[in-house]
């Protein structure tokens, strides 16, 4: 069974999703490189990224 992969424009309600993905994928690398993880800053950036005109969410079937 093939799953349909599509893109949809992101919206402000996707900010939490953006933040979660960024934390799961980037936090270990930032900390390993000796950096610090500023949760407030990351949430602000995710909110900005979610409404960026070129931002999209990948859907696989009906899941993001």
Digit-by-digit pLDDT tens for the chain (64 residues) are 788 999 999 999 999 999 999 999 999 999 999 999 999 999 999 999 999 999 999 999 876 6
**CA dihedral sign, ordered 33, 38, 42, 44:** negative
pLDDT value for 2: 82
Q: pTM here? A: 0.82
Give the number of other Cβ atoms within 10 Å of residue 16's Cβ: 13
Helices within the chain (DSSP H only): 15-32, 39-50
pLDDT value for 64: 67
pLDDT value for 61: 85
Residue for token pair 């800053």? 41
* CB-CB contact of 12 with 53 (8 Å): no
Domain ranges of the chain: 5-60
């Amino acid at each position: 069974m093939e799953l349909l992969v599509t893109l949809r424009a992101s919206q402000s309600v996707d900010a939490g999703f953006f933040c979660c993905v960024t934390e799961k994928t980037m936090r270990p690398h930032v900390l390993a490189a000796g950096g610090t993880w500023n949760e407030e800053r990351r949430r602000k950036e995710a909110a900005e990224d979610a409404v960026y005109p070129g931002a999209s969410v990948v859907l696989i079937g009906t899941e993001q």
